[in-house]
Amino acid sequence: MKNLIIASTSTIYGLGYLEYLMPVLKDHFKNATTILFIPYARPGGISHDDYTAKVAEAFAQIDKKIVGLHTFENPVEAIEKAEGIFTGGGNTFLLVKQLYWHNVMLPLKEVLQNGAPYLGCSAGSNITGLTMETTNDMPIVYPPSFQTLGMVPFNINPHYLDPIEGSTHMGETRETRINEFHCFNSQPVLGLREGSWLEVHGSKITLKGSLTARLFRQNQSPIELETETDLSNLS
């Protein structure tokens, strides 16, 4: 049965990397000695090694060893054998392109369906939705498809941002962008604010964290969902 933490962000303003999630992660990865890290999204263009080292430092606090997927000659086998998996944030287009390039999108989907504990942050959360089409990222590379893992029956919009009051900028608000998505796509979109996450246990999906999340459904007005809302029947 599925076992995922799908977080809006790795980092909350004023706290260290993954700090706000550590108590949750300690329990989530309790049966894993080593966690496989997928660094493909590479935020800011840092190297895979540097990104992996940053993650290892954070997970050392709960005595977990981190190994980067990029260090394996056979990444499919690495995914299949992983005790736990974490996909970090960065650019979703880059992440998805690399997952397809290394032929690990499908193996990743399979191990997650079979219960490997997973953590996604930001781009790593985006890919748990049906498609990556509600990412906020810039299309800096061209992936072979926008289809992603479908671990939840809707799309994720991480780092969800409310309209900035008094802004004179004429670019689209996040809400406008998601409404445009719904002109061409029917699946719900969950706007997860920084500090919120989803807990997926089997078929049960629960909103966690102290904030509300914003749910967008095609041809309906968006609504705010309270923490602990059960999203299992959302599709």
Q: What angle do CA 227, 201, 197 make, to 5 degrees?
A: 35
172-231 binders of a second copy (CB under 8 A): 172, 176-185, 194
Active-site option among 8, 122, 125, 196? 122
Q: Is 159 a catalytic residue?
A: yes
Residue whose CB is less far from a second copy, 99 or 178: 178
CA distances from 130 to 7, 68, 145, 148, 234 (A): 16, 25, 12, 6, 13
Residue whose CB is less far from a second copy, 106 or 141: 141
Contacts of 57 (CB under 8 A, 6+ apart): 17
Radius of gyration (C-alpha) of the chain in whole angstroms: 17
Active-site option among 102, 125, 159, 196? 159
Binding residue (CB under 8 A) for a second copy from 31, 73, 165, 171: 171
Q: Is 210 a catalytic residue?
A: no
For a second copy, which stretch binds (CB under 8 A), given 4-12, 22-30, 101-109, 227-235? 4-12
First-to-last CA distance in the chain?
A: 19
114-153 binders of a second copy (CB under 8 A): 132-142, 145-146
Residue whose CB is less far from a second copy, 11 or 52: 11
**Position 233: which residue type?**
N
> So which residues are the catalytic ones?
122, 137, 159
